[in-house]
A and B are shown apart, each in its own frame.
Chain A
Amino acid sequence: MSLTDVELRDIEAVLDHSPDATAAATTAMRIVQGHRGWLSDEALADIGERLGMSVAELDSLATFANMLFRRPVGRHVVLICDSFACWSLGYAELRGALEATLRIRMGETTPDGRFTLLPIVCLGACDRGPAMLVDADLYGPLVAGDLGAILEAYS
């Protein structure tokens, strides 16, 4: 397999701007993840071919990062803040409510491939805690009762 035309075009745009290919590595991985949902070994090989980097180098970056997924994730990623301000403002109840609503445990993906539930460190929304992100959308302060309506909007 290799990079699709669209992936290549997006990566070339970054490379134009980049002092060297290696400096564009994480952005390139993010682009491919945006198209494919996650980064398989194959995806890393495809990216490495264009950037002149080994799979090992790219894997070393991807596994270090918390937003590059080396396993499949759902169409929507729910990130619930578990840092200390949100923790003190109701994280545990919120987590329980999310797990109950989605019928999965933390770290799992719903069987229909719709949602993956993951913890995230401080979202910089401590004054609006407890907080969570669904894709790029920030929500907070949250109570369990808010969850149904929020999650419904994500197909």
Chain B
Amino acid sequence: MSTVDSTGWEKPLTRAMRSDGRPALLEDFRARGGYEGIELALRAMRPSEVMSLITMSGLRGRGGGGYPTGRKWGTMPLGPDAPRPKYIVCNADEMEPGSFKDRYLMERNPHLLLEGMLLAGYACEADAGYIFIRDQYDAPWASLEAAIAEAQAEGLLGRGVLGSDFDFQIDLHRSVGRYICGEASAMLNALEGRRPIPRSRPPHMTGAGLFARPTVVNSVETLAAVPAIVRNGLEWWQGLAPAHGGGSKLFGVAGRVARPGCYELPIGTPLRDLVEVHGGGMLPGYRLRALVPGGASTSFVTAADIDVPLDFDSLRRVGSRLGTGTVVTLDDTTCPVGMTLNLVRFFAQESCGWCTPCREGLQWTAAILGRIEEGDGQPGDLDRLAEHGWLMGSDKTFCDLAPGAMQPLQSALKLFPADFEAHITGRHCPYGDVGARALADDGAGTAPGAGTDGSR
């Protein structure tokens, strides 16, 4: 895989990846500038300098939340009186439907994550790291396990990293599975051997986190972005995406496109480029109606908004979020009600059960939507669904699982009203008819109409 494309930019997240698809070994990683970030930091920077560099870079979390990384790190207590040990926990529990980039990064470039954690640990004056990885990620596990062994053997991990007085060990922990483990505070409960229900805050995790010690939880891609910022500096980082706050990101596209996969691109790349240029556009016979831009908890974006830049602020302007930046397409042969139902059922299943609005609300939402999809929609159902969006707002739930579930639902109700109506009045899913596809009139299309054979 080319790490420098025709425009001449150097892709920090993927440059060390091998063209044969196997994991980048230590020698591959070092040949591409690997571990030069931590070397530089240990040799020439104080922890506080690394921290303020990341803060000034404006790096935002790539796990879905988009929280400024430097601001999070900055809340860790520092200095000799800070409680110890302090932890860096990597959230490698990628499980939100539609997210497939952390797997790619961990399998193909495991050392980059290790170096990112070392730098986070150095900046936060932390002692140890955990990588919390989901159960079904066997290949990423193997890749990381091998990389940790290589790093230890070369003095890059453990006591006295690269001969300095900075000690940092990284342990892998395998989840036994459930989406809620990806909620940072629930993850800490899981690591402690408790039922992984989220925690109430305060106290915040950087105050009392894992084993009641100060803990930073960051996502895989967020940590992976750190080494190049330290190695190459702020100006370089800004220069990757000057109009969008700097930096690159690992985007992805899946669905009925010609070239599904992961693509590292500058932040702010137009969505159209991702889908049509890199993803090759829709397969013959399929038309793009809409897409889910950043994982199951992000709102639908219609094809009419395909020129939106892929950055955190621009997606908000079209009513959605960047989230993970891994896009799943909705084509014109796929029922939006059915897709929404699949999404809501996922969240309903994964509710941890702790708080009433989520535990009860998601079951009701799934049941109502299920009836609509089966052709048994009742008058008032759409109002009830809209009301559930309010009932499961983030001011009413214990964590963001249920509010996340409401994003695709509320956006679907708003963007595909004709499809919902067709299910209710027609008392069946029109996409089940042979040859049915959404009629093209505007960006959102219209449900296959009664009396048409679906041809265009």
Contacts and interface: CB of A to CB of B under 8 A. Distances in A.
Interface of A: 17, 19-27, 29-30, 60-62, 64-68, 79, 82-85, 87-89, 120-129, 133, 136-138
A79 B134 CA distance: 14
A126 B328 contact: yes
B334 interface: yes
A91 B343 CA distance: 14
Interface string B32-53: 0000000000000000000000
Given A26-B193, A61-B193, A127 B178 contact: no
A84 B342 contact: yes
Contacts of A126: 97-100, 252, 254, 260, 326, 328
A128 B102 contact: no
B224 to A, nearest CB: 15
B339 A19 contact: no
Contact of A66 (B97, B177, B252, B330): B177
Interface string B101-140: 0110000000000000000000000000000001111110
B255 A89 contact: yes
Per DSSP, chain A at the interface is mixed
Contact of B97 (A17, A62, A85, A127): A85
Nearest to B329: A88
Contacts of B192: 22-23
A136 B262 CA distance: 22
B423 interface: no
B296 A138 contact: no
Interface residues of B, number: 54
Nearest to A84: B342
A83 B295 CA distance: 11
A84 to B, nearest CB: 4
Given A19-B211, A68-B176, A124-B136, 16 more contacts: A22-B194, A23-B211, A82-B342, A84-B339, A85-B97, A85-B98, A88-B255, A88-B328, A121-B95, A121-B179, A121-B350, A122-B97, A124-B95, A126-B326, A127-B253, A127-B262
B176 A26 contact: yes
B253 A136 contact: no
Contacts of B373: none
A23 B139 CA distance: 24
A67 B135 CA distance: 7
Interface in B317-356: 326, 328, 330-331, 334, 338-339, 342-343, 346, 349-350, 352
Contacts of A66: 176-178
Interface of B: 94-100, 102-103, 134-139, 171, 173-179, 190-196, 211, 252-256, 260-262, 292, 296, 326, 328, 330-331, 334, 338-339, 342-343, 346, 349-350, 352
A67 B177 contact: yes
Contacts of B179: 121
A51 B253 CA distance: 45
B261 A127 contact: yes
Contacts of B98: 83-85, 122, 126
Contacts of A27: 173-174
A84 B97 contact: yes
B176 A30 contact: yes
A107 to B, nearest CB: 14
Nearest to A141: B260
A29 B177 CA distance: 13
Contacts of B134: 124
A84 B176 contact: no
B341 to A, nearest CB: 9
A106 to B, nearest CB: 14
Which one of B135, B136, B173 has the highest number of Cβ atoms from chain A below 10 Å of its Cβ?
B136
Given A65-B176, A136-B138, A124 B99 contact: yes
A29 B99 contact: no
Nearest to A63: B195
A61 B195 contact: yes
Contacts of B176: 26, 29-30, 61-62, 65-68
10 contacts: A61-B194, A65-B176, A67-B136, A83-B346, A88-B334, A124-B95, A124-B102, A127-B262, A136-B138, A137-B138
B342 A87 contact: yes
Contacts of B342: 82-84, 87
Contact of A23 (B177, B191, B261, B350): B191
B195 A84 contact: no
Q: Which 9 A-B pairs have the closest CB atoms?
A: A83-B97, A65-B176, A127-B260, A126-B254, A22-B193, A124-B103, A66-B177, A122-B97, A136-B138
Contacts of A29: 176
B254 A85 contact: yes
A13 to B, nearest CB: 13
Given A17-B171, A67-B135, A83 B296 contact: yes
